[in-house]
Structure 1
Amino acid sequence: MSGKSPTNSGVGAGRRQEPHPPSSTQTSSAATSFTNGSGSEILSEIEPEGLSGHALSRYYAKFAAAPGQDPFSERRIIRARLLHTLRQVSTVDRCKSCGWTPLGLAVVLKVGTTGDRKTAGFGGLERCGRIWLCPECAAKIRLRRGEEVAEGISRHLDNDGGALFWTVAIPHEQGDALKAVFTTLTELIRLVASGRPFQRDKKALGILGNIKAIEVTHGRNGWHPHAHILVVTERVLTWEQWTTFARNLDYRVAAALKKLGWNTGRAGIRSTVIPVDKGEGLAAYITKVQEKGLGNELARADLKSGRRGGRTPFEILADFSETGLVDDLELWWEYEKATAGRSAIRWSKGLRALLLPDTAEQSDDEIAAEEQGGEAAAYITMPAWRRIRRDPEVRLACEFAAAEEGWEGLLRVLIRYRISAQGIYTPEEWAVPDEVELEPG
Structure 2
Amino acid sequence: MHSLTHYRTGTVLMWTATVESSPDLRPLWKQLSSTISATIGSGWMKDHDVIGYARAVEPELGAGGWHPHAHSLIVFRNELTDAEVDAFSRALVDRYLAKADRTGTHASARGQDVRRAENVSVAVDYMTKGGVRLYGNDTASRLWAAVAAGDGDALVKVHELEQGGHRRRRWTTTGVCAPVMDFDEMLAAGKI
Could you tell me the TM-score, scaled by structure 2's length? 0.81
Q: How many angstroms does 1:344 deviate by?
A: 2.0
Query: Cα offset for 1:164?
Result: 1.0
Counterpart CA distance in 2 for 1:231 and 1:351 is 10
Look up the match of 2:20: 171
How far off is 1:226 after superposition?
1.0
Q: 2:3 aligns with which of 149, 152, 158?
A: 152
Query: Aligned residue for 2:93?
Result: 250
Residues 237, 268 of structure 1: alpha-carbon distance in 2 compared, 3 angstrom cutoff: farther
In structure 2, the residue matched to 1:336 is 162
SS at match of 2:133: helix
Residue of 136, 142, 145 corresponding to 1:318: 145
**Which amino acid in structure 2 is aligned with residue 336 of structure 1?**
E
Deviation readout 1:163-217 (Å, 9 max, x if unpaired): 11111111113x3x1111110011111111125xx62x632x3111301111111
Deviation per CA, 1:204-234, whole angstroms, max 9, x where unpaired? x311130111111101011111111111110
Contact 1:215/1:227, CA 8 A, preserved across alignment: yes
Contact 2:21 2:68 (8 Å CA) reproduced: no
Contact 1:211–1:345 under 8 Å retained in 2: yes
Alignment-derived partner of residue 356 in structure 1: 180
Partner of 1:211: helix, strand, or coil? strand
Structure 2 counterpart of 1:241, one-letter code: E
Q: Deviations over 1:81-121 (max 9, x none)?
A: xxxxxxxxxxxxxxxxxxxxxxxxxxxxxxxxxxxxxxxxx
Q: Which consecutive residues of structure 1, in runs of 5 or more, have no partner in the other structure?
A: 1-149, 282-291, 362-441
Counterpart residue identity of residue 170, structure 2: A
- Displacement, 1:239? 0.6
Q: How many residues align?
A: 183
Q: Given the alignment, which residue of 37, 41, 46 partners 1:202?
A: 46
Which has the larger Rg? Answer: 1
Q: Percent identity?
A: 23
How large is the Cα RMSD of the aligned pairs? 2.7
The secondary structure found in structure 2 opposite 1:343 is coil
What residue is the counterpart of 1:272 in the other structure? 113
Cα drift, residue 342 of structure 1: 2.5
Bigger RCO of structures 1 and 2 (CA < 8 A, at least 6 apart): 2
> What's the counterpart of residue 13 of structure 1?
none
Is the Cα–Cα contact under 8 Å of residues 302 and 314 in structure 1 kept in the other structure?
no
SS of alignment partner, residue 302 of structure 1 = coil
Q: Structure 1 pair 274/303, CA: closer, same or farther in 2 (3 Å)? A: farther
**Partners in 1 of 2:54 and 2:136 — Cα distance?**
22
Paired residues for 1:106-121 under 5 Å: none
Q: Do the aligned partners of 2:144 and 2:155 also contact (CA within 8 Å) in 1?
A: yes
Distance 1:155 1:336, change over 3 A: same
Contact 1:255 1:264 in 2 (8 A): no
Equivalent in the alignment of 2:189? none
**What secondary structure is seen at the aligned counterpart in 1 of 2:157?**
helix
AA partner of residue 222 (structure 1): G
Query: For the residues of structure 2 that align with 1:238 and 1:316, how far apart are their CA atoms?
Result: 43
Instruction: Give, as a single letter, the amino acid of the residue that structure 2 aligns with 1:321.
Output: A
Report the counterpart of residue 302 of structure 1 in structure 2.
133
Structure with the higher strand share, 1 or 2: 2
